[in-house]
Structure 1
Amino acid sequence: MTNPSTPPPALLAWASRVLGARPRVQEVSSPREASRVWQLVLPGPVRFYLKISPKAVMYERETFALRSAAPALGAGGAPQLRASSAHHLALLLTAVAGWPLNELMLAPSEEARAYRQAGALLARLHAVGDLSGPRRAEAERALQSAADGADGHLARAGDRLSAPERKLVRDLAEQLRTLPPLPLAFIHGDAWDRNILWSKDLQQTGWIDFERSRPATAVQDFVLMACSTWVDRPDLRAACLQGYGRNLTPQEQHAVTCLAALDAVSCLVWGPKLGDPGVTARGRRTLDRLMAGVFA
């Protein structure tokens, strides 16, 4: 089913009331995403987006992040939440300047600048999240929860993995349970180049799409980059961690390796399901590298 080209009338009326005028609407949803997104155009320099979350939990996570943590990223570092509607699972956001890094062709020095800023913004996000009470408990359980999901991932992947590969994934998942306590944070949750916007005019980075943000171990925000861009670009890994302000500890790096195995299986499930060969290839490459013992 394709996304509708315009929002539901009641939702558009709500957004128009918030903005004080009826905007011109352009549908900009990603074909791979369940979210529905429209750009709302009004006179003036500020652009807005209207987004319907695919699930209530994603709406709740993104709303909470944009209200409580993302403002610490500063002007242009994240969208600003103008309004939200629990009834529609909708968020009305300001636009972040720039274009996703995965869609840009940049000189290596400019890419490094973008990743350095991205790492610095992640450090701010990780530092400001409220980890009191139940949120701290959720963060402390994060690696255990990831390990608990291994069998489900493997069952859905079926025969896309060999018996030795399945054993390796189970072994690495179990190792997550034995790691010492790692630094906790309020993480972005979907931190990789398609959610990093880079403005060439402003030479500025911003993060978007906080619908998977949550309390967790800080290192979980580096897994997707470690399984994608950083594989062939260690310079970008170095730039991001330089901006973040520290390198990963040996225990955190081992956690990345273990979590990469789970990401690989997830890719081998969702890549074919979504008809996305890029996701499938990422999972297969990660698994091949883990089997060869060269993942780092």
Structure 2
Amino acid sequence: MRLLNHLPDTIDAWARGAVGAFDTVREVHGRRAPGTCRVWELTRPDRSTRFIVKVARNATAYRTETFAYRHAVPAVPAGGAPLLLDCEPAHFALLLTAVPGHPLRELRLPPTEEREAYRRAGALLARIHTAGELTPQRRAAVQEVLDRAPQRLERLLHVCGDRVGSRERALLRALVAELPHLGPLPIAFVHGDAQPRNLMWSAAGRAAWIDFERARFAPAVQDFVRLAAGPWADRPALRSAFLAGYGRRPGPVERHALRCFAALDAAGALVWGAQQGDAEIVARGRRTLARLTEGEFA
């Protein structure tokens, strides 16, 4: 991955027209392969203000993220997520405020502070989950996605090939086959990629969620999958802190749904991680698959 510390000319002109002068440009996420986004951090000459320019991976991601910033982020307390300052549809570009801090996955915090970071993250996610209007059309669209989940799994397994064994395939199929028939689940406007890489934490003790390109209406518990597959796996205190901030614990049907969604996420992680050369995502998929097989995922 090659990072470029300058913006493409057309995007540079657009950004300067929106926010004025900046003299430092740092690309913080470069395109690894087709279908991934690019992100730059811009800094004013006096170092007082930073901005983020994000070029979405495609038109769908651009529309999804702009919708999230316009309709969901306003429900979050100030500083709990970036704000959308401008957008440029011709280039799928968004201009955002930069929230303070660093991704939680990059930090080594004292246990008490880490639990507080997860508690505040849970409180913010609860606010995101209440955003937007769940219309009958959107509820029907959620069910349609659940109905198609088994077909999606089959496509992922086809790409995985022999990286997923026959016993593992049978388990994934059995779990994902339940998704269309689980019964009523609380539906929310989910972040879609809630995990430590997208959770910012500052020295002032402020949490913020970033990267809303997968935000959508979906079962609320789906936002817990990547947390359960990652930091919660060996740190139940972090799970407890997060859910305390969130304000409720998943019920029995949601807990079972979490396993079913984790099965689909594991297959997706194995495919996406391999395609993007992201060893961390591949490892998450393998770990989730192992925990599901051993009956330990919860």
Q: Secondary structure at the match of 2:91?
A: coil
- Give yes or no for the alignment of 1:15 onto 2:15: yes
Task: Note the C-alpha offset of 1:286.
Answer: 1.4
Task: Note the C-alpha offset of 1:280.
Answer: 2.0
Task: For 2:196 and 2:151, locate their aligned partners in 1 and report how far apart those are by CA, in whole Å.
Answer: 28
Name which of 49, 55, 60 aligns with 1:57: 60
Q: Secondary structure at the match of 2:249?
A: coil
Name which of 202, 208, 219 aligns with 1:199: 202
User: Structure 2 length as normaliser, TM-score?
Assistant: 0.94
Task: Note the C-alpha offset of 1:40.
Answer: 1.1
Q: 1:58, 1:212 within 8 Å by CA — same for their partners in 2? A: yes
1:114 corresponds to which residue? 117
Q: Secondary structure at the match of 1:268?
A: helix
Q: 1:140, 1:217 within 8 Å by CA — same for their partners in 2? A: no
Task: For 1:192 and 1:165, locate their aligned partners in 2 and report how far apart those are by CA, in whole Å.
Answer: 24
Q: Secondary structure at the match of 1:87?
A: helix
Task: For 2:22 and 2:207, locate their aligned partners in 1 and report how far apart those are by CA, in whole Å.
Answer: 30
2:272 corresponds to which residue? 270
Task: For 1:279 and 1:191, locate their aligned partners in 2 and report how far apart those are by CA, in whole Å.
Answer: 13
- What amino acid maps onto 2:107 in structure 1? L
Task: Note the C-alpha offset of 1:180.
Answer: 0.7
Task: For 1:147 and 1:96, locate their aligned partners in 2 and report how far apart those are by CA, in whole Å.
Answer: 38
Task: For 2:7 and 2:297, locate their aligned partners in 1 and report how far apart those are by CA, in whole Å.
Answer: 44
Q: How many residues align?
A: 295
1:212 corresponds to which residue? 214
2:238 corresponds to which residue? 236
Name which of 91, 95, 100 aligns with 1:92: 95
- What amino acid maps onto 2:12 in structure 1? L
CA RMSD of aligned residues (A): 1.7
Task: Note the C-alpha offset of 1:44.
Answer: 5.5
- Give yes or no for the alignment of 1:29 onto 2:50: no
- What amino acid maps onto 2:13 in structure 1? A
Q: 1:139, 1:185 within 8 Å by CA — same for their partners in 2? A: no
User: Structure 1 length as normaliser, TM-score?
Assistant: 0.95
Task: For 1:75 and 1:5, locate their aligned partners in 2 and report how far apart those are by CA, in whole Å.
Answer: 29
Give CA deviations for 1:246-268 in whole Å, capped at 9, x if unaligned.
00011111111011111111222
Task: For 1:86 and 1:65, locate their aligned partners in 2 and report how far apart those are by CA, in whole Å.
Answer: 15
Q: Secondary structure at the match of 1:28?
A: strand
1:82 corresponds to which residue? 85
Give CA deviations for 1:180-238 in whole Å, capped at 9, x if unaligned.
110111110000010000012x2110000000001111111101111111111111111
Task: Note the C-alpha offset of 1:88.
Answer: 1.0
* Runs of 5+ unmatched residues, structure 1: none
Percent of matched pairs sharing the same residue: 50
Q: Secondary structure at the match of 1:211?
A: coil
Q: 2:269, 2:281 within 8 Å by CA — same for their partners in 1? A: yes
Name which of 228, 235, 242 aligns with 1:226: 228
Q: Secondary structure at the match of 1:223?
A: helix
Q: Which moved more, 1:130-139 or 1:82-91?
A: 130-139
Task: For 1:218 and 1:156, locate their aligned partners in 2 and report how far apart those are by CA, in whole Å.
Answer: 28
Q: Secondary structure at the match of 1:130?
A: coil
Q: Which moved more, 1:272-281 or 1:76-85?
A: 272-281
Task: Note the C-alpha offset of 1:146.
Answer: 3.0
Q: Secondary structure at the match of 2:201?
A: strand
Task: Note the C-alpha offset of 1:32.
Answer: 5.6
Task: For 2:264 and 2:228, locate their aligned partners in 1 and report how far apart those are by CA, in whole Å.
Answer: 13
Change (3 A) 1:102 1:31: farther
- What amino acid maps onto 1:16 in structure 2? R
- Give yes or no for the alignment of 1:103 onto 2:102: no
Q: Secondary structure at the match of 2:181?
A: coil
Q: Secondary structure at the match of 2:135?
A: coil
Change (3 A) 1:41 1:22: closer
Task: For 2:293 and 2:177, locate their aligned partners in 1 and report how far apart those are by CA, in whole Å.
Answer: 16
* Runs of 5+ unmatched residues, structure 2: none
Task: For 2:92 and 2:114, locate their aligned partners in 1 and report how far apart those are by CA, in whole Å.
Answer: 35
